[in-house]
Structure 1
């Protein structure tokens, strides 16, 4: 039988307010009970144990963080509280790009063994801004898996590849002129 968690999401957010306010997560305190602390997506959140009940974890605000179901499945399941904060901080991005964009870039680099910047450096003109706009358009033509609220990393990596292929065509046309 699953033990019912009595600690509320608001109690968890209040407990970790200082960590949230010092940019240790991808949310602000204002959004801490509605957006996943790892990926930032607005979704129903799970109260995720830092130290599992089976490892002696308690039903208290300091033993939980708030994650979407996907990130809850991915989180480290270990006793050391610093590990989960290291994990959250590792996925904190200071730019305006969403978490899944960065994950797609990592996946692209893994699949194609090349960075986007390396690929773009082959062009005769600076087109990073054009790449960003074209990628945004390409991402409008992809689908989410099973009703997920965001694209998965492989989909984003595929959209990056499609976008770079389109830019290669533009570059080929430029060279032929």
Structure 2
């Protein structure tokens, strides 16, 4: 009887060969994302305070707040900031700390000693650009930190070896759907 698939993908085992490994070069991009995120968070905080300010004078809805309401108001603003900031920060941090691995069977994304993304190469649709390779397949597993708004796919982001990785993946069963016509793939 075949063994049931584990919830989290396992490390490469016997019969699986590591063909390529790399890391994203995201230092500059991460700084830009952080600045944009801080600006957005600042604007949202300002907006929240502007929405609250009219109620300081009193209203039928909120009554007339006194000094004892200030800690509650501050806790609500800080809570709002954490609800917005924490998932975004965790996701951005995970993407920047990721390690990529291509084996003869799978495309893997590691975070520390755990696999957080896996796509089976055979039959996967692959798109490659100058700095990114993306694998779309029904056999994909993603941790929540790597999920995007669109379809689930494994992305090797900000890698200088994107075309080399795509060529290796194609040799092991991935279908390259946006192959460059100038021969830049080999």
TM-score scaled by length of structure 1: 0.25
TM-score scaled by length of structure 2: 0.24
Larger relative contact order (CA 8 Å, sep ≥ 6): 2
Q: Write 1 or 2 for the structure with the bigger share of strand.
A: 2
